[in-house]
């Protein structure tokens, strides 16, 4: 969920800034790409899951009490 939310918020800001900055300040064309936005949002969610799994991979095979005693 965290990856989907962060991807969605990032895409909203990127599209808004891209639309107004590129269109008005730099006079470039702006085209909304829904499939590219969806792919980006899903890849951010996947990267969030992978990063979380890699960060906790070491402790997943241990008992909770052992991990807490190490800390």
Identify the domain containing residue 65 by its residue range: 2-70
- What's the pLDDT score for residue 51? 92
Residues of the chain with pLDDT under 70: 71
- What's the pLDDT score for residue 61? 81
In total, how many domains does the chain have?
A: 1
DSSP the chain: -HHHHHHHHHHHHHHHHIIIIIIIIS-------HHHHHHHHHHHHHHHHHHHHHHHHHHHTS-HHHHHHH-
- What's the pLDDT score for residue 67? 77
Separation between Cα atoms, residue 10 and residue 41, nearest integer Å: 9
- What's the pLDDT score for residue 71? 65
pTM (2 d.p.):
0.68
């Amino acid at each position: 969920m965290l990856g989907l939310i962060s991807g969605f918020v990032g895409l909203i800001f990127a599209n808004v800034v891209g639309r107004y900055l590129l269109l008005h300040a730099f006079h470039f064309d702006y085209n909304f790409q829904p499939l590219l936005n969806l792919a980006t949002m899903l890849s951010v969610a996947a990267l969030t899951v992978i990063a979380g799994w890699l960060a906790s991979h070491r402790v997943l095979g241990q008992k909770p009490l052992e991990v807490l005693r190490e800390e």
